[in-house]
């Protein structure tokens, strides 16, 4: 999919939710607050050595057990897995999709390992990003068809049923299921921008025109500025029109019907990541009136929420003091809990730091006060929530390459010369004879976080021994590098790799080589718990202490 800047911004807010399992679980001090007697989720999203967009192809089974043991040793009791619909299912152009069975098998493998390590797990279903070929669709189509096409809605339910078959074997440690409005975002960020004829068509197709005509006709005439109303002339409003107020209400209801309720029919544990931001709607005077969304205070399952220091701040590039950050955090907690009356939610994306490149003016906490903030936040989490989670437990790079660890053998790669996949125990590697090459074509603007801002890209890979490679962009040589045994990182000029809508990246072996774990990236998402090489970072100690504090009365 080709991203516009506004769509890229949307996907920075990603989260997950959970719920108490239906079956009885063994409980211990890692799971239950002695003070409140309720389950406290301490969760880490698991992306292994990859990032969310490539995780399901990249993780190496041989490393999973050690990764999960590390997560548990750090005081977490739950792992969050983000499942893309597209990728697990392929060939969306057909009446029925085709299951990518290897993805489901890898899900089953992870759930078995999670169970063996006595951890709980949460699933976020429908994540929109995956590089799998042969999907027969795009991110925009998947979303639009979900609202317009009953056949697409059936495909969603069929996907859920297949996931359910896998999770049924490990249902005893299922903590909860989340669906997020961010994964079905097109009504907010695409539909209002379309031309008039398409917006009229959409209003009919998704039921907005029929729904709107049931509103008070006098008020409707004032808002639409028309004396004669007919559903045939109603269209999806633009964001600067007063009717957008009604549209927000309609889309929130439609998401609940098509996504939340349909998912709950398969997984009773399902809850929503509530939308905590507000939309501006123009008043008659042309002023912005901020309209909130349903917060699901009566939800019996764990709702999902997300927080970062910029929430409620001025966002003029300011540095927040410890006192101000704690005040803002408690204000947020009161907002999402109806002043402490509905604490059944998990802040599963507790982003106490944030370096996303699209918001350079976002407020942030003073770095030297993050540790104290985490420790002092423990009492607030106990009082106002059912737990928390971290998104970037391990910092991750925006790797542009699909199947870059060759766990799906040579899927997605064009090859020349003599190459062999070496299958190890839970870890594939690629053996390249001299003069052989691998290449991959892709849209860099869809693969990188903010491609046009990069001056340099990093190419990192593991090598089993010394060797030499040439690196090409669209058949133009851009680097020659000598490799040592182990990890190698090479700086590449970004221009040739990001300036076009389509680029072909190629590596040619100038000697016999065995390589693995390729990463081609320009940005690293950092929470500073572990870095992208899985080395302890500055906030690990404080996170571990927070987890200990949550066990204490």
pLDDT digits (tens, 9 = 90+) for 337-387: 999 999 999 999 999 998 988 888 899 999 999 999 999 999 999 999 999
* Residue owning tokens 């970062």: 308
Report the candidate in 135, 255, 140 with the shortest Cα–Cα distance to residue 198.
Answer: 140
Compute the distance between CA of residue 525 and CA of residue 392 in angstroms, rounded to an integer: 7
The CA distance from 83 to 395, in Å, is 19
Q: Residue 377's pLDDT is what?
A: 98
Of 326, 265, 260, 321, nearest to 296 (Cα)?
260
Quote the pLDDT of residue 38. 56
Q: Which two tokens stand for residue 118?
A: 């006595």
Q: Nearest-CA neighbor of 500 among 360, 400, 373, 399? A: 400
Q: 111-126 burial, b if ≥16 CB within 10 A, otherwise e?
A: bebbeebebbbbbbbb
Say what the pTM is: 0.91
Read off the tokens for 397.
């790079």
Indicate the pLDDT class of residue 515, thresholds 50, 70 and 90. Answer: very high
pLDDT in tens, 461-507: 999 999 999 999 999 999 999 999 999 999 999 999 998 899 999 99
Q: Which residues contact 77 (CB under 8 A, 6 or more apart)?
A: 30, 31, 41, 42, 43, 119, 120
Position 16 confidence tier, pLDDT thresholds 50, 70, 90:
very low
Contact status, residue 438 vs residue 406, Cβ threshold 8 Å: no
Nearest by Cα to 539 from 384, 338, 304, 354: 354
Write the CA distances from 175 to 178, 257, 449, 464, integer angstroms: 10, 23, 31, 40
The overall average pLDDT reported for the chain is 91
Which alpha helices (H) appear in 306-429, and where do they start and end? Answer: 322-336, 370-384
For residue 305, name the pLDDT band (cuts at 50, 70, 90): very high
Confidence class of residue 287 from pLDDT cuts 50, 70 and 90? confident
Taking the C-alpha atoms of residue 539 and residue 205, their distance in angstroms, rounded to an integer, is 49
Confidence class for position 452, pLDDT limits 50, 70, 90:
confident
Q: Mean per-residue pLDDT for 142-161? A: 97
pLDDT tens digit string along 171-191?
999 999 999 999 999 999 999
Worst-scoring range by mean pLDDT, 67-71, 156-160, 223-227, 520-524?
223-227
Structure tokens at 52: 């969310």
Mean pLDDT of all residues in 521-534: 96
Q: Count CB atoms within 10 A of the CB of residue 409.
A: 12
**Start-end of CATH 3.20.20.80 domains in the chain:** 16-184+253-273+296-306+340-351+370-397+543-549
Q: Which residue has the higher pLDDT, 4 or 279?
A: 279
pLDDT confidence tier of residue 407, bands split at 50, 70 and 90: very high
Q: Which tens digits make up the pLDDT trace of 220-249?
A: 998 888 888 898 999 999 999 999 999 999
Structure tokens at 552: 């204490």
The residue among 268, 264, 273 whose CA lies nearest residue 294 is 273
Give CA separation, 328 vs 321, 363, 365, 488, 551, in Å: 11, 11, 11, 43, 24
Structure tokens at 160: 């859920």
The answer to whether 273 touches 178, Cβ cutoff 8 Å, is yes
**Which CATH code for domain 16-184+253-273+296-306+340-351+370-397+543-549?**
3.20.20.80
CATH number of this structure's domain 414-522 = 2.60.120.260
Query: Where does the chain hold its CATH 2.60.120.260 domain(s)?
Result: 414-522
CA distance linking residue 310 with residue 302, whole number of Å: 24
- Percent residues over pLDDT 70 in the chain: 93
């Amino acid at each position: 999919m080709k991203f516009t800047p506004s769509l890229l911004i949307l996907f920075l807010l990603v989260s997950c939710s959970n719920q108490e399992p239906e079956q009885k679980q063994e409980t211990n001090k890692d799971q239950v607050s002695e003070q409140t007697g309720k389950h406290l989720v301490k969760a880490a999203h698991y992306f292994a050595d990859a990032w969310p967009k490539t995780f399901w192809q990249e993780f190496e089974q041989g490393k999973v057990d050690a990764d999960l043991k590390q997560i548990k040793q750090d005081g977490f009791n739950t792992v969050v897995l983000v499942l893309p619909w597209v990728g697990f299912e392929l060939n969306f152009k057909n009446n029925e999709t085709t299951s990518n069975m290897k993805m489901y098998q890898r899900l089953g493998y992870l759930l078995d390992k999670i169970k063996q390590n006595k951890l709980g797990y949460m699933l976020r279903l429908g994540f929109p990003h995956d590089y799998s070929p042969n999907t027969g669709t795009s991110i925009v189509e998947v979303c639009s068809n979900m609202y317009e096409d009953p056949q697409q809605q059936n495909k969603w339910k069929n996907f859920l049923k297949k996931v359910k078959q896998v999770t049924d074997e490990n249902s005893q440690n299922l903590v909860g299921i989340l669906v997020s409005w961010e994964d079905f975002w097109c009504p907010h960020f695409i539909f209002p921008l379309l031309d008039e004829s398409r917006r009229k068509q959409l209003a009919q197709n998704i039921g907005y025109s029929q729904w709107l005509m049931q509103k008070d006709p006098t008020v409707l005439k004032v808002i639409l500025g028309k004396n004669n109303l007919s559903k045939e002339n109603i269209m999806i409003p633009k964001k600067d029109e007063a009717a957008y107020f009604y549209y927000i209400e309609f889309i929130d209801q439609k998401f609940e019907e098509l996504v939340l309720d349909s998912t709950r029919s398969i997984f009773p544990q399902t809850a929503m990541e509530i939308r905590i931001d507000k939309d501006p709607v123009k008043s008659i005077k042309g002023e912005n009136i901020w309209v909130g969304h349903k917060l699901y205070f009566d939800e019996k399952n764990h709702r999902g929420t997300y927080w970062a220091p910029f929430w409620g701040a001025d966002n003029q590039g300011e540095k927040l003091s410890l006192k101000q950050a704690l005040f803002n955090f408690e204000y947020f907690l009161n907002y999402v809990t109806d002043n402490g009356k509905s604490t059944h939610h998990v802040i599963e994306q507790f982003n106490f730091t944030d370096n996303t490149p699209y918001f350079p003016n976002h407020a942030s906490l003073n770095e030297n006060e993050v540790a104290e903030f985490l420790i002092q936040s423990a009492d607030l989490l106990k009082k106002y929530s059912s737990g928390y989670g971290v998104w970037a437990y391990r910092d991750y790079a925006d790797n542009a390459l699909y199947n870059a660890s060759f766990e799906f053998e040579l899927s997605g790669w064009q090859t020349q010369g003599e190459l062999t996949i070496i299958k190890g125990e839970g870890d594939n590697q690629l053996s390249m004879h001299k003069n052989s090459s691998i290449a991959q074509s892709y849209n860099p603007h869809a693969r990188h976080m903010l491609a046009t801002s990069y001056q340099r890209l990093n190419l990192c890979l593991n090598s089993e021994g010394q060797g030499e490679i040439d690196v090409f962009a669209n058949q133009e040589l851009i680097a020659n590098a000598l490799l040592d045994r182990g990890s190698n990182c090479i700086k590449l000029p970004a221009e040739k790799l990001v300036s076009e809508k389509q680029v072909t990246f190629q590596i040619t072996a100038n000697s016999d080589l065995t390589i693995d774990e390729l990463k081609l990236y320009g940005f690293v998402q950092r929470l500073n718990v572990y870095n992208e090489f899985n080395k302890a970072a500055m906030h690990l100690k404080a996170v571990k202490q927070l987890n200990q504090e949550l066990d204490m009365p």
